[in-house]
Amino acid sequence: MYLIKLRPDQLVKAVSENTPVIISAGSIEYHGPHLPIGTDFLIADSIIEAVEKRIPNGCVVAPPLPFSSTMNWAGSSADGDIDFSPEALYIYAREIFAQLVSVGFKRIYVLQHHQGPEGVPSLTLRKAAAEVLRNTTKAWGHSWGRKDPDDLPNPDIFALIRIAYLDTFSDFPGQVPVGHGGKGETQLIMAGYPETVDMNMLAAWESKLPEWLLDADQATYEEGKRWLDLCINGWVKELSDKT
């Protein structure tokens, strides 16, 4: 279910059933001539779209966070690179998290795909989540850690807001292969949004490709779908187990 499509009675029901909220986050930046500039966001969003359909008791999909800091690493504004201020993202994300908590949600997940789990966007979102977490517990007064967890407004307070990655909840060893615009991201986009990929554009730029794009032509839909499904399965398990 999508947050912006819920009626008030449906929203109250979702909160009462401790339904998880999930938000996709990424960036708008240059990923090579063959991929859309929204590659990071689209990969995250493709996982969330699939997860929303498979959670037995439902999840609430909140509006996405498609902009974050790119530091113009791969290209310029002329290439579609939007270097969004970390401070702006921090303030915006903090307000979103705070309002979702105010509504009553107790399980908020952000699927962030850009610069990896320790990049600027993840750190920015974690800072926003940390402030909301602290402000939430300050309202409980002092010494709340001495109380029975079941007597607290939210017994699982440290899981209130989770900033996670594509494969955070997956069971396979290692990490899903990504790489900026290369084979990893190209095959994930092929599997999620195949209509946005044009490999002919890659061939036309062959002599000008940076090193990080040299393996992009090895991407296949089949391999991309396999990795995407593994990520989706991990998220479905995480959100279903605690529903």
Q: Is the CB of residue 41 less than 8 Å from the CB of residue 113?
A: yes
Q: How many helices (H) and strands (E) does the chain have?
A: 7, 4
Place of tokens 């490999």: 199
Residue 175 lies in a domain: yes
Residue 242 lies in a domain: no
Residue 49 lies in a domain: yes
Is 0.95 surpassed by the pTM of this model? no
**Is the per-residue pLDDT at 108 higher than 70?**
yes
Say which DSSP state 65 is in.
Answer: B
By CB atoms closer than 10 A (0-12, 13-18, 19+), residue 171 is: exposed
Residue 243 lies in a domain: no
Range of the domain at 45: 3-140+152-236
Place of tokens 């966001």: 41
DSSP 137-154: HHTT-TTGGGS-GGGSS-
Which pair of tokens denotes residue 105? 């949600």
Place of tokens 């089949």: 222
Number of domains in the chain: 1
DSSP 90-132: HHHHHHHHHHHHHHT---EEEEE-SS-TTSHHHHHHHHHHHHH
202 CB-near residues (< 8 Å, 6+ apart) = 32, 33, 34, 209, 213, 216, 217
The residue type found at 178 is: V
Say which DSSP state 71 is in.
Answer: T
By CB atoms closer than 10 A (0-12, 13-18, 19+), residue 174 is: exposed
Residue 221 lies in a domain: yes
Measured in degrees and rounded to the nearest 5, phi and psi for residue 66 equal: -80, -10
Query: What's residue 81's pLDDT?
Result: 94
**Is the per-residue pLDDT at 173 higher than 70?**
no
Residue 120 lies in a domain: yes
Residue 216 lies in a domain: yes
Mean pLDDT of the residues in the chain:
92
pLDDT in tens, 58-84: 899 999 999 999 999 989 999 999 999
Residue 147 lies in a domain: no
Query: What's residue 152's pLDDT?
Result: 85
204 CB-near residues (< 8 Å, 6+ apart) = 33
In this structure, what CATH number is given to the domain that contains residue 99? 3.40.50.10310
